[in-house]
């Protein structure tokens, strides 16, 4: 590990000022960043510890939404009564990630900004990685790519975003609230992560030094009919091959609104908008579910080793729809 300085930020303004300096990075739970530093993947010159800032609150908003502070721990968020009762989809997605020990340390902001688990990114022994080493190429493109992307990939990067939480946040139309010296702004979770294009090292819309302060969820009509299904190589402590977040608003037997988001299949949580539209107005029934599951994988493009994920994703969507129905 290369030398770096460590500063505990006294308040939000101090964090933002220090975080904007070249080579600085915020430290929250440290469960991803410290790993990457130890492995030689990231080498920040200055760590700005934000973990003591007062950003861990979870509070109900007027008009029925909720605000989750960026430093709320993943376990506290999953177990919070407002989240459990109004956003069970988010709670289930969080509980499917990592381990209890990791969830006790990991924060909402850090979870959003966790980096890909592509082996070629994680191991600096591989020279080629456009994320780690822009312009060097993508070893996964012709390498071992069974975990990699089906949608939105490019010739420069086929990595996926590994978060479970973000898949649920995408389905729930979350807003990510940001703060920098220029002021505050909000970015929809749907737009927060970028597709790789020819700059896969630029992963989000965040500008240097910008702090995630909270995540806002609008009032939800998806309490009764939702499901988070994660398919992985091991029953726990493993990242998704494919995950699916389903949220249905069912009124008098008909689907009034539908959300389908997938994880493990793209550089960002992937919303299946076409499939969602097919469900609107349809009865809660096997035939529209099968049609929507087929539509959810339209446009998927397999690499050498991950063609199995297309049918896996279709089946996972279908199964998650059935779970959400009950």
Binding residue (CB under 6 A) for ligand FAD from 29, 88, 264, 288? 29
Stretch binding ligand FAD (CB under 6 A), from 27-35, 132-140, 142-150, 185-193:
27-35
User: Is the Cβ of residue 25 or residue 193 nearer to ligand FAD in the bound state?
Assistant: 25
* Residue 31 near ligand FAD by CB under 6 A: yes
For the CB of residue 32, give the shortest distance to ligand FAD in the complex, in Å: 3
Radius of gyration of the chain, Cα coordinates, nearest whole angstrom: 19
Which residue has the CB atom at the shortest distance from ligand FAD? 110
Residue identified by tokens 């129905």 is 325
Binding residue (CB under 6 A) for ligand FAD from 18, 66, 98, 138? 98
For the CB of residue 315, give the shortest distance to ligand FAD in the complex, in Å: 20
* Residue 14 near ligand FAD by CB under 6 A: no
Cβ 153 vs Cβ 131: under 8 Å:
no
What gap in Å lies between CA 275 and CA 291, rounded to an integer?
8
* Residue 25 near ligand FAD by CB under 6 A: yes
Tokens found for residue 196? 């790789």
Q: Could you give phi then psi for residue 261, rounded to 5 degrees?
A: -125, 145
What gap in Å lies between CA 15 and CA 7, rounded to an integer?
9
Q: Could you give phi then psi for residue 8, rounded to 5 degrees?
A: -90, 120
User: Is the Cβ of residue 209 or residue 288 nearer to ligand FAD in the bound state?
Assistant: 209
What gap in Å lies between CA 4 and CA 211, rounded to an integer?
20
Binding residue (CB under 6 A) for ligand FAD from 16, 26, 152, 192? 26
What gap in Å lies between CA 99 and CA 113, rounded to an integer?
18
Binding residue (CB under 6 A) for ligand FAD from 111, 145, 170, 214? 111
User: Is the Cβ of residue 55 or residue 250 nearer to ligand FAD in the bound state?
Assistant: 55
* Residue 30 near ligand FAD by CB under 6 A: yes
Burial 8-47 (b: 16+ CB within 10 A, else e): ebeeeeebbebbbeeebbbbbbbbbbeebbeeebbebebb
Binding residue (CB under 6 A) for ligand FAD from 65, 88, 110, 288? 110
* Residue 211 near ligand FAD by CB under 6 A: yes
Which residues from 223-242 bind ligand FAD, rule CB under 6 A?
A: 239
Number of H helices, E strands in the chain: 14, 12
Tokens found for residue 151? 């949608």
* Residue 28 near ligand FAD by CB under 6 A: yes
* Residue 163 near ligand FAD by CB under 6 A: yes
% helix / strand / coil in the chain, to the nearest 5? Answer: 30, 25, 45
Q: How many residues bind ligand FAD (CB under 6 A)?
A: 30
Region of 192 please: left (phi>0), alpha (psi -120 to 50) or beta: alpha
Cβ 115 vs Cβ 121: under 8 Å:
yes
For the CB of residue 137, give the shortest distance to ligand FAD in the complex, in Å: 24
For the CB of residue 30, give the shortest distance to ligand FAD in the complex, in Å: 4
* Residue 165 near ligand FAD by CB under 6 A: yes
Binding residue (CB under 6 A) for ligand FAD from 9, 16, 27, 262? 27
What gap in Å lies between CA 233 and CA 231, rounded to an integer?
7
* Residue 12 near ligand FAD by CB under 6 A: no
Residues that bind ligand FAD (CB under 6 A): 25-33, 35, 50, 70, 97-98, 102, 105-107, 109-111, 113-114, 162-165, 211-212, 239
């Amino acid at each position: 590990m290369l030398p770096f300085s460590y500063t505990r930020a006294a308040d939000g303004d101090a964090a933002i000022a220090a975080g904007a300096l070249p080579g600085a990075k915020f430290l929250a739970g440290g469960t991803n960043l410290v790993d990457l530093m130890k492995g030689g993947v990231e080498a920040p010159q200055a760590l700005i510890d934000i973990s003591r800032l007062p950003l861990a609150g979870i509070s109900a908003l007027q008009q029925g939404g909720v605000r989750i502070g960026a430093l709320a721990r993943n376990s506290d968020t999953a177990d919070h009564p407002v989240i459990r009762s109004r956003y069970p989809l988010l709670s289930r997605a969080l509980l499917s990630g990592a381990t209890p020990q990791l969830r006790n340390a990991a924060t909402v902001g850090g979870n959003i900004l966790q980096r890909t688990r592509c082996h070629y990114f994680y191991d600096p022994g591989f020279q080629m990685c456009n994320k780690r080493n822009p312009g060097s190429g993508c070893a996964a493109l012709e390498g071992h790519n069974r975990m990699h992307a089906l949608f939105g990939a490019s010739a420069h990067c086929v990595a996926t975003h590994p978060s479970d939480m973000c898949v649920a946040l995408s389905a729930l139309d979350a807003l990510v609230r940001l703060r920098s010296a220029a002021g505050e702004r909000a970015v929809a979770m749907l737009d927060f992560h970028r597709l790789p294009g020819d700059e896969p090292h630029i992963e989000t819309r965040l500008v240097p030094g910008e702090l995630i302060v909270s995540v806002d969820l609008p009032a939800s009509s998806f309490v009764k009919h939702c499901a988070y299904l994660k398919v992985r190589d091991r029953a726990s402590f493993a990242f998704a091959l494919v995950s699916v977040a389903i949220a249905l608003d069912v009124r008098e037997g008909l689907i009034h609104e539908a959300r389908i988001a997938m994880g493990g299949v793209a550089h960002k949580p992937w919303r299946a908008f076409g499939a969602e539209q097919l469900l609107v107005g349809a009865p809660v029934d096997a035939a529209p579910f099968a049609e929507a599951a087929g539509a959810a994988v339209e446009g998927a493009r397999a690499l050498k080793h991950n063609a199995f994920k297309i049918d896996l994703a279709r089946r996972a969507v279908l199964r998650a729809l059935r779970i959400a129905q009950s």
